[in-house]
Amino acid sequence: MIIKINGKSEAVKMHSNIAELISGKSLCPDNLVLELNYRIVPRQDWQNVVLKENDTIEIISFVGGG
């Protein structure tokens, strides 16, 4: 199925959850905050939230900035 991740369409496995998506991308969960369809999903819920077709995800982290 196709979902939108950080503005780009990507194919992901059906029924995968957020935790699987993050580990599949080799991202370190500690550094991230995540929005699913414009709602923040707390890290402890990532395992329980199953992705659906056309979901919109933002995966965000801290960077240097003034």
Partner 1 sequence: MEDSLEIAGEKVNNRLFIGTGKFASYSIMKRALEEAKAEVATVALRRVDADSKAENILNYLPKSCRVMINTSGARDADEAVRIGRLAKAAGAGNWIKIEVIRDNKYLLPDNLETLKAVEILVKEDFVVFPYMSPDLSIGRRMAEAGASAIMPLGSPIGSNRGVKTRELIEIMINEINLPIIVDAGLGKPSEACECMEIGSAAVLVNTAIAVSDDPVRMAVSFSKAVCAGRLAYLSGIPAAGKIASASSPLTGFLRDKK
Residue 60 CB, nearest approach to partner 1 (Å): 5
* 18 phi/psi in degrees, rounded to 5: -65, -40
Calculate the alpha carbon distances from 60 to 14, 29, 41, 43, 63 in Å: 23, 10, 12, 13, 10
Task: Write the binding mask 11 to 50 for partner 1: x where contact by CB under 8 A, - elsewhere.
Answer: ---------------xxx-xxxx-x--x-x-x--------
CB of 44 to partner 1, least distance (A): 12
Question: Under a CB-based contact definition with an 8 Å cutoff, are residues 22 and 29 in contact?
Answer: yes
Instruction: Give the binding site for partner 1 (CB under 8 A).
Output: 6-7, 26-28, 30-33, 35, 38, 40, 42, 58-66
